[in-house]
Amino acid sequence: MADTLIPSNNNHTVDPAVAGLIEGDQTYETVSERLASIVLRQDRHGLPWWLLILIGFGGVNVLGMVVVKLLFTGVGIFGNNMPVSWGWPIINFVWWIGIGHAGTLISAFLLLMRQGWRASINRLAEAMTIFAVSCAGIFPALHTGRPWVDYWLFPYPNILAMWPQWRSPLLWDVFAVTVYALVSILFWFVGLIPDLATLRDRAENQYAKLVYGIACLGWRGSAEHWQRYENASIMLAGLATPLVVSVESIIALDFTIGIVPGWHATIFPPYFFAGALYAGFSMVIMLAIPLRKWYHLEDYITPKHIDWCAKLMLVTGLVVLYGYIMECCYAYLSGDRYEISMMHYRQFGPYWAAYWLLILFSCVLPQMLWIPKIRHNNAALYFLAIMVSIGMWLEKFIVVVVSLTHDYLPSSWGYFTNTFWDVAMYAGTIGQFILLFFLFVRFLPVINISEVREIVLRTSRPFRRNHASSTNSDSVTEPAGITSEPVE
């Protein structure tokens, strides 16, 4: 069967795999100029950037205030009590880790699948991953109450013969998150190298030229450099992809190894994994929509990118909905009076509003994404992404707090109320994320220049689908950093 060929602006036919991934009359020069100028020209950053930088800086100061108060007073400043020894710190830790997972999926898994649509959003998704993990790491480091001995969690030359407690879920989290953060940073940096060389060559400020020149590690764009770059990218993508599954599964096992009603379920690892992707894709949409508007990136982050992110958010949302249904079935059909009591307590107890808001935000409202007009309406899509993020935070609240306040013995039942310091620390990490992300937008390319050039190449040359051409296109990748125009 013959494939449908899509006409391009120069009377050629465009590869259907990249149709709609870039708009306008684009060349290598226009791509490099428009994307590099965001970094190299100060006037490209308007009032929204400065306002968000101030908000982020204020949030970081609030976070510093909470940390100082915590170190001098102790974890008693939080709402943690007995039986809720895990409160907002663990809730926020799991929520932030989940947000970072969509970045790795877009960057690593879609690279392995040779999906060209990742080119315009993979860089911001990778940065989102790193900054979200940096926010998540604060909570397990501080909620122990003695952060000055957190080095005990790592295997180190142990002259005190106090070996790490490998049965502790806290230790699992440290190893999982540390490995995930290191691989994500390496993957992000390797992808930056060709673009850092572009900034080096275009920078007029001598200090900027020196900094970018050192950071790009002597990149010259030779065939040997491109081969090593692609090999390193594929290898790191192969490492990062299973880490997406393993990290969230390990965090889920923090709960499932306990015998607390509502936790001890085998569905938790895939359920947490889907929820992490769900929250992550909502954050990608929340970042991509304003960025394409403020920096006039509509030609590179096209409606097709936003639509596909919305579809992936819908798919992962359906998996999460299935997990909620299974939780109810496990409880009410188990015949276990403790599980039945726990589920009834979630739905009709003192925290009933949080549970039903969770269902509304995470399950009901996102079903509007079945409607194409909603997916193509940026305002409606942005609203739904915010609702999903709130809903996924409420999910962690229900799992952690409600399960702990209502376990086996009525004498052990309690109630949890957060404090000002709980909210302040959470708000501080949001400020940290905003500050780090928009500093990244200021000093590094928010869109992968070299990969977008490759999309330009594939939309500029004739496309013919036959056995020989498809074989060659799969086995030979033209360097995306070539600066000459494609021959027609």
Note whether 399 and 362 are within 8 A (CB).
no
Q: What is the pTM for the complete model shown?
A: 0.86
Measured distance CA(454)–CA(233) in Å, rounded: 16
Note whether 462 and 12 are within 8 A (CB).
yes
- The β-bridge partners of 14 are 6
- The β-bridge partners of 6 are 14
Q: Token pair of 267, please? A: 């569905």
Residue 336, classed as helix, strand or coil, is coil
Which residues does 104 contact at the CB level (< 8 Å), separation at least 6? 126, 129, 180, 184, 187, 240, 241, 243, 244
Q: For 108, what's the count of Cα atoms within 13 Å in the CB-facing half-sphere?
A: 27
Domain range list for the chain:
16-154+167-456
Measured distance CA(454)–CA(26) in Å, rounded: 11
Note whether 124 and 288 are within 8 A (CB).
yes
Backbone angles phi, psi at 13, to 5 degrees: -110, 140
Read out DSSP for 348-384? HSTTHHHHHHHHIIIIIGGGGGGSHHHHT-HHHHHHH
Which residues does 193 contact at the CB level (< 8 Å), separation at least 6? 216, 217, 219, 229
Measured distance CA(369)–CA(376) in Å, rounded: 9
**In which element (H, E) is residue 29 found?**
helix 28-40
Helix 122-142 × helix 420-443 angle, to 10°: 150
pLDDT in tens, the chain (488 residues): 333 334 444 445 556 666 677 777 878 888 888 888 888 887 778 888 999 999 999 999 999 999 999 988 888 889 888 888 888 988 999 899 888 877 787 788 888 888 778 888 888 888 999 999 999 988 888 887 788 888 877 777 767 777 777 777 888 888 888 888 898 899 999 999 999 999 998 988 889 899 999 999 989 989 999 999 999 999 998 888 888 888 888 888 888 888 888 888 888 888 888 888 898 889 999 999 999 889 888 888 888 889 998 999 999 999 999 999 998 888 888 888 888 988 999 999 899 999 999 999 999 999 999 999 999 999 999 999 999 999 999 999 998 888 888 888 887 888 888 899 999 999 999 999 999 999 999 999 999 888 888 888 777 655 454 443 433 333 333 444 443 333 33
**Given the structure tokens 């000459």, which residue do they identify?**
484
Query: What CATH number has the domain spanning 16-154+167-456?
Result: 1.20.1630.10
C-alpha distances (whole Å) from 462 to each of 7, 13, 15, 143, 488 are 10, 6, 8, 59, 8
Within a 10 A sphere around the Cβ of 466, how many other Cβ atoms? 8
